[in-house]
Amino acid sequence: MNHNKQKALTPVCLVYLIFGLGILAQFISLVVSDGKFLGEMVYDFSRFTDFFDHVRRFYLGLDLVYQEGMHACFPPLAYSIYFLISRILYSDNMEAPGELAVSGSGMLVICMLTALFALFFSFALDRLFSGGRSLEKKLLTFLLFCSYPFWLAVERGNMSQLVLILLMYALAFRDSGRKMEREAALILIAAASGLKLYPAIFGVLYLAEKRYKEAVRLIAYGIFFFAFPFVFFQGLDGFRIFLRNLSAVGSGTTGVTIAGICGRIGEGIGIGLAQGHMAGRILSVLYLAAVIFLCFRNKKSWQTMALLSSLMIIFVAASGTYCLIYWTIPFLCFLNEMHIRKAFRWIDYLYAVLFPLVFVAYPFRMTGSSGMLYAFLYLLILVILADQAVQAVGKKIGGRERREHE
């Protein structure tokens, strides 16, 4: 049954109501807990470890930045950026690289970079969120940046913040009427993939829409951003060690990914952690195949963006909680569609409830800082998959009835 758009409570209004209440509860908890709630939000204080841990590698006298250990697993484009930052901080920290995070210059640089992230995130949201007015865009920027995933991402200092901005701009430019912006979208996706690899999954969109020439150029840009920077990191030797580190990190799991959850279940039911992880990796591959199939079936829709974005969050076995910021992309696409809808289905209201809860679900101690966020993320993904299945069956039945009528 459709609901008339003139009703007082639209899905968009429901989104802001839940999001606003969640942020309010968060700030009240921060104030009344005398600071204890901050620990509940971020689960530990790593002092921007995903930033400084990579920068300090350039102070250790290594012949190759990838030689220190498996956690040196970013593609060389990311380390090119870390190298430039290391030069800015070098004179103050060359004697004590372990103190980078608490040095005056280190704290200043991370503050400036966080400010730039907030600034460019607001610019990117303004482009991708085409359905909202100026005041609504400012409100949504504030709400998102105050949400739990963004606190976690800032606290870790992970490269995911830059990747998110590149992808938001890319998806905003992808269908532009201007040729230069469409080409910029290809370059931005390739650059994001050069930083983290898994954003390359968005290249599937070009294949699904039969934009083959653009897909070929995207592959060419991607190879360039991935391969060329190895020139500065010992070429083939660096590439081999990078693959070894990547394999080592990929063999681990975090508890919130598909493999991690299956590992916990396997341990709980007595089949063993390793067997659970193996089952989870198989399930992850099946989920990847299902997402790609649905991408080709649905092409342009916010559900497609949601499923592709979910791969960057729950498919990669060692994915961190900060990756939840990628859910911003389908969230904005959902709001865009709700703004142009003339009528709503009941399930649109369910989506409107679940989407903000991925950002503001209260972090109860028993579930950990991000347990509730992921609970609603998985629930939302299941609802999307069920919705897609029902629509597919409906179309099939409708097509059969039309053929019989003819």
In sequence order, what are the residues at sequence separation of 6 or more whose Cβ sits closer than 8 angstroms to the Cβ of residue 148?
A: 26, 41, 324, 359, 360, 361, 363, 369, 370, 373
Average pLDDT over residues 121-129: 96
pLDDT digit string, tens, across residues 333-347: 999 999 988 788 999
Q: What is the pLDDT of residue 391?
A: 79
* pLDDT band at 399; cut points 50, 70, 90: low
CA distance 295 to 298: 5
Q: What DSSP state is assigned to residue 96?
A: -
- Nearest-10 crossing angle of helices 104-128, 160-173: 20
CA distance 157 to 207: 33
* pLDDT band at 6; cut points 50, 70, 90: very low
* Residue whose C-alpha is closest to residue 75's, from 268, 234, 246, 266: 246
- pLDDT above 70: residue 402: no
Average pLDDT over residues 276-304: 89
Average pLDDT over residues 104-129: 94
* pLDDT band at 271; cut points 50, 70, 90: confident
Residue with tokens 């991370």: 110
Q: Compute the mean pLDDT over every residue in the chain, rounded to the nearest whole number.
A: 88
Average pLDDT over residues 173-201: 95
Q: What DSSP state is assigned to residue 133?
A: -
* Residue whose C-alpha is closest to residue 165's, from 202, 221, 120: 120
* Residue whose C-alpha is closest to residue 16's, from 129, 106, 128, 101: 129
Residue with tokens 């003139």: 6
Q: What is the pLDDT of residue 306?
A: 96
In sequence order, what are the residues at sequence separation of 6 or more whose Cβ sits closer than 8 angstroms to the Cβ of residue 245?
A: 66, 69, 70, 71, 72, 73
Q: What is the pLDDT of residue 401?
A: 57
In sequence order, what are the residues at sequence separation of 6 or more whose Cβ sits closer than 8 angstroms to the Cβ of residue 399?
A: none
In the chain, pLDDT over 70 holds for what percent of residues? 92
Q: What is the pLDDT of residue 404?
A: 58
Q: What distances in angstroms separate CA 395 from CA 190, 298, 341, 401, one per listed residue?
A: 36, 13, 20, 10
CA distance 323 to 319: 7
- pLDDT above 70: residue 27: yes
* Residue whose C-alpha is closest to residue 66's, from 242, 232, 214: 242
* Residue whose C-alpha is closest to residue 275's, from 284, 262, 261, 258: 262
Q: What is the pLDDT of residue 1?
A: 44
- pLDDT above 50: residue 187: yes
Q: Are 65 and 73 in contact (CB under 8 A)?
A: no
* pLDDT band at 39; cut points 50, 70, 90: confident
* Residue whose C-alpha is closest to residue 359's, from 124, 148, 214: 148
Q: pTM, whole model, 2 decimals?
A: 0.91
pLDDT digit string, tens, across residues 355-392: 999 999 998 776 666 889 999 999 999 999 999 888 77
Q: What are phi and psi of 4, to 5 degrees?
A: -65, 140
Q: Are 171 and 128 in contact (CB under 8 A)?
A: yes
Residue, of 280 and 210, whose pLDDT is higher = 210
φ/ψ region of 43 (left if φ > 0, alpha if ψ in -120 to 50, else beta) reads: left
Average pLDDT over residues 198-211: 94
Name the least confident of 70-74, 169-173, 329-333, 374-378: 70-74
Q: What is the pLDDT of residue 270?
A: 83
Give, in degrees to the nearest 5, the angle at Cα 36 between 31 and 37: 65
* Residue whose C-alpha is closest to residue 186's, from 221, 139, 232: 221
Highest mean pLDDT among 189-203, 234-248, 352-366: 189-203
Average pLDDT over residues 91-102: 81
Q: What is the pLDDT of residue 170?
A: 97
CA distance 257 to 262: 8
Average pLDDT over residues 238-257: 80
Q: What are phi and psi of 345, to 5 degrees?
A: -90, 160
* pLDDT band at 5; cut points 50, 70, 90: very low
* pLDDT band at 254; cut points 50, 70, 90: low
Q: What is the pLDDT of residue 151?
A: 92
- pLDDT above 90: residue 406: no
